[in-house]
């Protein structure tokens, strides 16, 4: 089962379950009563994970070439494309209510760090281009950071992402510095602190 189907099947409270699939995003954090009861899983077998890891980390003269996803025009995008920058990679799906809250917060961070060698990349997991476009068109505030697609779920599985939302922070050398997993893991203020720390380490 892919992420889109899993997200549709997950149990949520009445406040969240009644929301349309592509309704406008929630700007403020979800109230406690509206929190989902469990994460939105990416269900893959152990054998599939092994295959996708081998297919997603490609040889490169500068070291492993890690696939983040593809642009909305279908061009592969690799972590090495942002070499020397702090990269915040957020894995999301349009049917995931907590993602509606997290993505606008990432837009605020994108604005705050504009021009400071910080790249915000939001990677949609498992959905068609039409679903991504529909979601983006309904945002109350435009998302101006990079939007990628991981329709096959290869890139997300290769990074050990098993639920959305999940946010990974890569340092300037391409190593994972922080992982914000699942529904309750994301914290915008802590993320800003992580970015500041990694920027200062670059000296």
28 part of a folded domain: no
Return the axis-axis angle of helices 188-201 and 97-112, rounded to nearest 10°: 40
- Number of Cβ atoms within 10 Å of the Cβ of 122: 25
Residuewise pLDDT in 10s, the chain (203 residues): 555 445 444 423 322 333 334 444 444 444 343 343 344 554 343 333 333 333 333 344 444 578 999 999 999 999 999 999 999 999 999 999 999 999 999 999 999 999 999 999 999 999 999 999 999 999 988 999 999 999 999 899 988 998 999 999 999 999 999 999 876 678 999 999 999 999 998 75
- Residue among 94, 92, 93 nearest 21 (CA): 94
pTM metric for this prediction: 0.72
pLDDT of residue 156: 92
- Answer yes or no: are the C-beta atoms of 61 and 117 closer than 8 Å: no
**What are 149's strand-pairing partners?**
70, 124
3-class DSSP state for residue 90? strand
pLDDT of residue 176: 93
142 part of a folded domain: yes
106 part of a folded domain: yes
Bond preceding residue 165 cis, omega within 30 of 0: yes
Encoding tokens for residue 59?
């040889």
26 part of a folded domain: no
27 part of a folded domain: no
Measure the CA–CA gap between 23 and 46, rounded to whole angstroms.
34
- Answer yes or no: are the C-beta atoms of 180 and 173 closer than 8 Å: no
Q: What is the domain range of residue 70?
A: 3-21+34-201
In the chain, the number of structural domains is 1
Q: Which residues make Cβ contacts (< 8 Å) with residue 197, sequence separation at least 6?
A: none
CATH of the domain at 93: 3.40.30.10
170 part of a folded domain: yes
93 part of a folded domain: yes
- Which helix (H) or strand (E) covers residue 70, if one does? strand 65-71
3-state DSSP: the chain helix, strand, coil percent, rounded to 5? 35, 25, 40
pLDDT of residue 58: 37
81 part of a folded domain: yes
Measure the CA–CA gap between 201 and 94, rounded to whole angstroms.
35
Angle at 198 (CA atoms; ends 195, 200), nearest 5 degrees = 110
3-class DSSP state for residue 76? strand
3-class DSSP state for residue 93? coil
């Amino acid at each position: 089962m892919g992420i889109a189907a899993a997200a549709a099947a997950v149990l949520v409270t009445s406040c969240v379950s009644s929301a349309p699939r592509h309704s406008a995003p929630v700007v403020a954090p979800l109230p406690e009563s509206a929190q989902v009861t469990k994460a939105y899983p990416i269900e893959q077998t152990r054998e599939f994970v092994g295959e996708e890891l081998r297919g997603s980390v490609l040889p490169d003269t500068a070291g492993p070439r890690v696939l983040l996803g593809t642009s909305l025009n279908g061009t592969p995008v690799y972590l090495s494309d942002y070499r020397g920058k702090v990269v915040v990679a957020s894995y999301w799906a349009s049917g995931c209510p907590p993602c509606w809250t997290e993505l606008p917060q990432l837009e605020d961070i994108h604005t705050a760090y504009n021009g400071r060698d910080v790249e915000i990349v939001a990677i949609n997991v498992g959905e068609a281009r039409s679903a991504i476009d529909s979601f983006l068109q309904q945002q109350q505030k435009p998302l101006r950071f990079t939007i990628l697609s991981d329709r096959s779920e290869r890139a997300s599985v290769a990074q050990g992402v098993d639920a959305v939302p999940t946010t990974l922070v890569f340092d300037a050398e391409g190593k994972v510095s922080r992982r914000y997993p699942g529904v309750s893991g994301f914290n915008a203020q802590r993320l800003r602190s992580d970015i500041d720390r990694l920027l200062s380490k670059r000296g």
